[in-house]
Amino acid sequence: MKRRHFVGGLAAAAGVAACGKEAADCGDSTHASTERFEWSCVTSWPPKYPGMGMGVENLAARVEAASAGRLKIKVYGGGELVPAFEVFDAVSRGTVEMGHDASYYHKGKVDAAQFFTSIPFGMNMLELNGWLYYGGGLELWRELYEKFNLVPIPCGNTGVQMGGWFNKEINTPNDLKGLKMRIPGMGGEVLRRAGGTPVTLPGAEIFTSLQTGAIDATEWVGAYNDVSFGLHKAARYYYYPGWHEPGPGLETMINKDAWESLPPDLQAILETCCQAITTDMVAEYTHGNTFALQQLRDDPNVELRQFPKEVLDVLKRMTDEIVAEWIAKDPAAKKIADSYYAFLDKSAYGQAVTEQAYLETRT
């Protein structure tokens, strides 16, 4: 969303507010300023789940407060109204007005959407937001979703994730062969090329699957959410860094017809609150991960391990191969990839001499 579009939305909101004072000069806008909407929002997260799940609840509360009750949003957790991985279809069809999930869950329907959540060894949270809001990423995202009758809005980010929980040590690339792991998106394709078997599971099914041996390993988010699921009780080895999700962004999807039914001020309120939730969610994860990771460090039954460089090098090479093959046959993905990697290539130097350089001096 370019700055002029955002400012225009706020100006429209101010204009509608002014109509409340000078109704005679505002025509039909007077009706728009008092019309009320009640929406349903389905998500891929367990109900009231820390971070991602509560982020949507907080979004609904902020929108209702900012709109003086003119837009109320009822939030449903994954499985309460529609299955966790059917959010995209439900909103596209107009079954509900709104949804919240991660765009890489739509792999197979719209593969290029993966760029807007996370690409292995790709952008971190700061870079992703820079590209989306100022580098043309959001325009590409909305163009991609247009044919599905959807309007996407960035809404949330967990920051760089952990590499996941494993029931065996990963010392060489050969240790990935035969590994059955819950890992979505392109990260799963990379694991497959490395000889493993990726599995897609909603969050609520991960613990039981890991505990019973249905899977050998899983990634989820980071220490904050992983502890809340009790994953440290089902596997011993906790690996980092999250090479597959260096800064995964989440999305609010709105049915296009529902979006266009809103007056400009409510559209602006919704977009602004989504940005606020991204900021708030990053803060929540930074705080929550700090204390949860300390808990895991002190747990004698958990071993924190860094992925060996040899393993990461192989995964990076395979990621590059998969992306090159993918964009060679998918024009939509290539168009987005050209923009994504052009920004990433320029941003990498800036990150190296700022964030990375500073953290290295601190350690």
10-residue stretch averages of pLDDT, the chain, 363 residues long: 42 42 42 83 96 97 98 97 97 98 95 97 98 98 98 98 98 98 96 97 95 97 97 98 97 98 98 98 98 98 98 98 98 98 97 96 90
Q: Are residues 89 and 114 in the same domain?
A: yes
Residue 206 is classified by DSSP as H
Q: Are residues 196 and 265 in the same domain?
A: no
Q: What is the DSSP string of 35-63?
A: --EEEEEEESS-TT-TTHHHHHHHHHHHH
Q: Are residues 148 and 98 in the same domain?
A: yes
Q: In what order do the strands lie in the sheet with 237-240?
A: 197-199, 180-182, 217-218, 164-166, 237-240, 303-306
The reply to whether 263 falls in a domain is yes
For position 231, what pLDDT does the model report? 98
Using one digit for the tens of pLDDT, what is the confidence trace for 55-74?
Answer: 999 999 999 999 999 999 99
Return phi, psi of residue 118, to 5°: -165, 140
The reply to whether 110 falls in a domain is yes
The reply to whether 214 falls in a domain is yes
Q: Are residues 96 and 125 in the same domain?
A: yes
Using one digit for the tens of pLDDT, what is the confidence trace for 80-98?
Answer: 999 999 999 999 999 999 9
The C-alpha angle with vertex 237 and arms to 234 and 240, in degrees rounded to 5, equals 125
The reply to whether 220 falls in a domain is yes
Strands 217-218 and 249-255: unpaired
Strands 217-218 and 164-166: antiparallel
Strands 249-255 and 98-101: antiparallel
Predicted TM-score of the model (pTM): 0.89
Q: Are residues 16 and 79 in the same domain?
A: yes
Q: Output the CA–CA distances (angstroms, integers) from residue 252 to 75, 222, 300, 302, in the order listed.
A: 12, 21, 40, 35
Tell me the C-alpha distance between 298 and 59, whole Å: 35
Q: Are residues 56 and 105 in the same domain?
A: yes
Q: Are residues 17 and 118 in the same domain?
A: yes
For position 133, what pLDDT does the model report? 98
For position 33, what pLDDT does the model report? 65
Q: Are residues 126 and 27 in the same domain?
A: yes
Domain that holds residue 252: 3-160+246-286
199: domain CATH number is 3.40.190.10
For position 163, what pLDDT does the model report? 98
Q: Are residues 79 and 114 in the same domain?
A: yes
Q: Are residues 133 and 224 in the same domain?
A: no
206: exposed, middle or buried (C-beta count within 10 Å: 0-12, 13-18, 19+)? buried
The reply to whether 296 falls in a domain is no
Q: Are residues 225 and 122 in the same domain?
A: no
131: domain CATH number is 3.40.190.170
The reply to whether 345 falls in a domain is no
The reply to whether 238 falls in a domain is yes
For position 363, what pLDDT does the model report? 80
Domain tally, the chain: 2
The reply to whether 353 falls in a domain is no
Q: Are residues 254 and 230 in the same domain?
A: no
For position 336, what pLDDT does the model report? 98
Write out the two tokens for 208.
Answer: 């039981």
